[in-house]
Amino acid sequence: MSGDPQPKRVLLVAYPLLSVSENCAGGAEQVLWALDRELRSRGHHTVVAASNGSQVSGELFATGEPASAPDQFAARDEEQTRRLIHWLNSDECPQFDLVHDQSGSFWRHADRVPFPILTTLHLPRSFYPVESFSSIPANVHFNCVSESQLRTFSALPRLLGYVPNGIALNRFPVSETPVEAREYVLWLGRICEEKGTHVALDVAHEVGQRIIIAGQVYPFIYHQKYFAREIIPRLKRAGTKARFVNSPSFPEKLDLLQNARALLLTSLVDETSSMVAMEASACGTPAYGFRRGALSEVVADGVNGRLFSTAAELSEGLRQKIEISPERCRNYAEQNFCALRMAERYERMYAEVVRAGIATMKSSG
C-alpha cells in the first residue's frame, strides 16, 4: 500500500547529542537519516534539526555543536530546544505541515510550537521517566517502532500505532563470501551495559571463536566506565582472537557485516527494534541473539538468524554449523526491512496527524 501522495513540509528533530550522518551508531539517528532520504526522494520538503556537521538529504537547521563530554548533555538538550522554539515562532520559519520529533524530548515543549507534532518513541517504556507522560500537550501524537513496544504504551493518548524501522537496502549489498568461509563473529553497535557487549565477548571466548567488537562509546560517564571495567579486560583476555574497531566508517561497517559468520545480538533489555540486524540480513549475514522484546519481529528463527533464551544456548548455537544462506537473509531483508515501506507508512501517519491538527484548530477557533 502506498503512502499519502500529497507532498508535505516536515521538520525532523534529531536527538541532540550527536550529529546525523550515514555513519551514525545510534538507531534513532539511522532511522532519521534513512527516512529523510526517502521522504526527500518522494517529493516532500524536509528540514532536519540536528547538531552542527550533520549530513542530511533535506535542509539542515543546525542547533549547535554536538556534546563532547557527558556533563554537556543537559545543556545541549536545552540549547537545541531553545533554538528550535525561537525559530519555529519567528517570521523566518517556513510553514510546516507537522514536526516529526525523533529526539525523545522535544515534544514536551509542544505547547510552545505552532504545528502538530508526531513523536516516535524509540526506547523501551522502562527507559522513560514515569512523569514523562503525565502532562501531554494536545498537539502531540505518538507512534512506536514495533508491535511489542506498542503493547507497553497502549494507554498513551493519541497513539497512532507502530511503524517498523527500515534501511536503505541498496547501501547494503549481499556478500558473495559463503558463511562457512567466514572466520569471525561480529558485535556492532553502541557499546554500553544494556547492549550486553561483554556477553558477546564471553560467548565468543567460551566457544573459542574469533570476534570483532565494533562501535562507539558515547560520552556518558557510565558508558565509559563500563568500557574500561568490562570490555578492555575481556579484549586483553582474548588476545589475538578479539579486535576492537572504534567508530567504524560506513565502508568499514559494510566490510565487517559482509564477512562475519554471524552478528551477535546480546542485549540485556527488551529491544524495540534492531537496525544492525536488518543491515546484517541485507548483507547476507545471519543474526544470533537473545529472544527479547522486538528481536523476534526482526529475526525470524531459522530464516535470517536464530534466537536463544540464555548465553549457554547461544554458545551452543555458535558451535554448530550455520546453515542459513546469505540469499535467504537477503530475501527476508528485501521483504521486511525496506526504508521505502517505512516512509510510505509515515506518509499515511503524517496525513492523520495533519487532519487531526486541522480539526483541533477549527474546534478551538
At a CB cut-off of 8 Å and minimum separation 6, what does 312 contact? none
Domain co-membership, 154 together with 188: no
Confidence tier at 359 by pLDDT (50, 70, 90): low
Q: What is the predicted pLDDT for the residue at 339?
A: 97
At a CB cut-off of 8 Å and minimum separation 6, what does 227 contact? 191, 217
- Residue-wise pLDDT for 180-232, tens only, equals 899 999 999 999 999 999 999 999 999 999 999 999 898 788 899 999 999 99
Q: What is the predicted pLDDT for the residue at 1?
A: 47
- The per-residue pLDDT of the chain, averaged, comes to 93
At a CB cut-off of 8 Å and minimum separation 6, what does 340 contact? 38, 166
- The count of other CB atoms within 10 Å of the CB of residue 128 is 14
In this structure, is residue 185 part of a structural domain? yes
In this structure, is residue 95 part of a structural domain? yes
- Residue-wise pLDDT for 262-311, tens only, equals 999 999 999 999 999 999 999 999 999 999 999 999 999 999 999 999 99
Helices (H) and strands (E) in the chain, counts: 12, 13
Q: What is the predicted pLDDT for the residue at 278?
A: 98
Its domain, for residue 238, covers 169-336
- Mean pLDDT for 94-122 is 96
Judge whether residue 3 has pLDDT over 80. no
Write the CATH number for 103: 3.40.50.2000
- pTM for the model: 0.92
Domain count, the chain: 2
Domain co-membership, 140 together with 248: no
At a CB cut-off of 8 Å and minimum separation 6, what does 182 contact? 259, 260, 261
